[in-house]
Amino acid sequence: MKVLVLGGGGREHALCWALGRAASVDEVLCAPGNAGIAEVARCVEVDPTDLALVLQLALGEGVDLVVVGPEAPLAAGVADTLGEAGVATFGPSRAAARIEASKAFCKQVMAAAGVPTAGYWTGTDPGEAVAALDRFLPPYVVKADGLAAGKGVRICAERAEAEEAIREAMVERVFGDAGARLVIEEFLDGPEVSAFGLADGAHSVLLATARDYKRALDGDQGRNTGGMGAVSPAPDLPAGLRDWVRQQVLAPVTAELAGRGLPYVGVLYAGLVLTADGPKVLEFNARFGDPEAQVVLPRLASDLGELLRACAHGELAGFGELAFHDRAAVTVVLASGGYPGPYETGLPITGLEAATERPDALVFHAGTRRDGDQVVTAGGRVLTVTGLGADVHSARAAAYTAADRIHFARLHRRADIAAPR
């Protein structure tokens, strides 16, 4: 089949790479793609949030399946537009994608489905938000309700910092309309785990687990980012966690959304915290994580094309057991200096060929473009370097050894991704 992937980051490079290796897939297109994706797929300069152009591309190319990578096209309703035209799409409707696009809606769904989560307050008035801090103990968790590219969450050690976060979001509107409503919630203390489920509207399955590293600096210091690295499988998981996620999280949330008339098709990505009181769900995302996709997808042995097609057609129940490679994966993000704040672009990148010579390493492009014959930086997160190995230790060594071969001015990366704790 012919598959169209929407997006142009590291997650979409991993999707295109995995789909290109699937026996069920004859051709992969990507809109808009990037310099690395162009090596494994045919890239088309179409904005994935331009619904009319996406539909025109899908129909004109006669694609059999559209796979939506980032959250913005989902929130814009790309799955609705494609579905109304009869184009099979892996990705939830705009209404169902509110599980990520609105943190308040996500909390409501979890409460109705009986999913353990943090206590919370939500509202649109800055004064009420400040007053609501009285209900919580520090550290305070302040979240923009809407999409903020992974940067809308502040964990504040002091009340003054929490009040500043409220002011920035609701008064100064640093996140635009995404911060007009806030969610303030109880801080959940414990290791975090990303659990990736796939749903077809009625049924769900669990892929691999992962752990990502959100903070910009070593030791989980600095500002939140879109992600500075990841490891899969997540280490030190309690016994029975996978069954718990399937039975207590994925199944009830899928049923709750279906009961609301919002059958969910796509990725149900649950962010978990392993607290002293047991696992709790922090939030849901409506797509593969980035950079978690870069460690989860290389471990999947099942045909990704057939799996996503089964979800899009409501046939997941008959797919059978998923198969995984018996190996670990670690990915390290190479970011532009200054990220997640202001950064320079257009900087030449060297060492890509040397890094990809390693059989145990993969390089996924996140923010790159071609300038003549040269690949240059074009975003905050530039590349993700994934190492594979028999265990986390060897996968980590492979990732950092390959990453050492890549250079661009002011390159920034964490040195402690997947390091023993």
Instruction: Render pLDDT for 323-373 as a digit per residue (tens, 0 to 9).
Output: 999 999 999 999 999 999 999 999 999 999 999 998 999 999 999 999 999
Structure confidence at residue 236 (pLDDT): 85
pLDDT digits (tens, 9 = 90+) for 360-392: 999 999 999 999 999 999 999 999 999 999 999
The residues, ordered by sequence, that sit 6+ positions from 73 with a Cβ below 8 Å of its Cβ are 6, 7, 48, 49, 54, 91
In order of their start, the domains of the chain are 2-90 (3.40.50.20), 120-185 (3.30.1490.20), 189-318 (3.30.470.20), 328-403 (3.90.600.10)
pLDDT digits (tens, 9 = 90+) for 241-275: 999 999 999 999 999 999 999 999 999 999 999 99
How far, in Å, CA of 314 to CA of 307, rounded? 11
Nearest-5° angle of CA 210, CA 282, CA 69?
55
pLDDT digits (tens, 9 = 90+) for 282-318: 999 999 999 999 999 999 999 999 999 999 999 999 8
- 301 burial (CB, 10 Å; 0-12 / 13-18 / 19+) is exposed
Indicate whether 98 pLDDT > 80: yes
Nearest to 365 by CA among 354, 346, 378: 378
- Which tokens belong to 190? 């414990």
On whether the CB atoms of residues 405 and 351 are closer than 8 A, the answer is: yes
Overall size of the chain counted in residues = 421
Q: How confident is the model at residue 150 (pLDDT cuts 50, 70, 90)?
A: low
Beta-strand relationship, 2-7 and 65-68: parallel
Nearest to 403 by CA among 327, 350, 339: 350
Indicate whether 224 pLDDT > 90: no
In three-state form (DSSP H/G/I as H, E/B as E, the rest C), the secondary structure along the chain is CEEEEEECCHHHHHHHHHHHCCCCCCEEEEEECCCCHHHCCEECCCCCCCHHHHHHHHHHHCCCEEEECCHHHHHHCHHHHHHHCCCCEECCCCCCCHHHHCHHHHHHHHHHHCCCECCEEEECCHHHHHHHHHHCCCCEEEEECCCCCCCCEEEECCHHHHHHHHHHHHHCCCCHHHHCCEEEECCCCCCEEEEEEEEECCCEEEEEEEEECCEEECCCEEEECCCCEEEECCCCCCCCHHHHHHHHHHHHHHHHHHHCCCCCEEEEEEEEEEECCEEEEEEEECCCCCCCHHHHHHHECCCHHHHHHHHHCCCHHHCCCCCECCCEEEEEEEECCCCCCCCCCCCECECHHHHHCCCCEEEEECCEEEECCEEEECCCEEEEEEEEECCHHHHHHHHHHHHCCCECCCCECCCCCCCCC
The residues, ordered by sequence, that sit 6+ positions from 372 with a Cβ below 8 Å of its Cβ are none
Q: Share the mean pLDDT of the chain.
A: 95
- Which tokens belong to 301? 């042995």
pLDDT digits (tens, 9 = 90+) for 2-60: 999 999 999 999 999 999 999 999 999 999 999 999 999 999 999 999 999 999 999 99
- Which tokens belong to 130? 């400040």
Residue type, 373: D
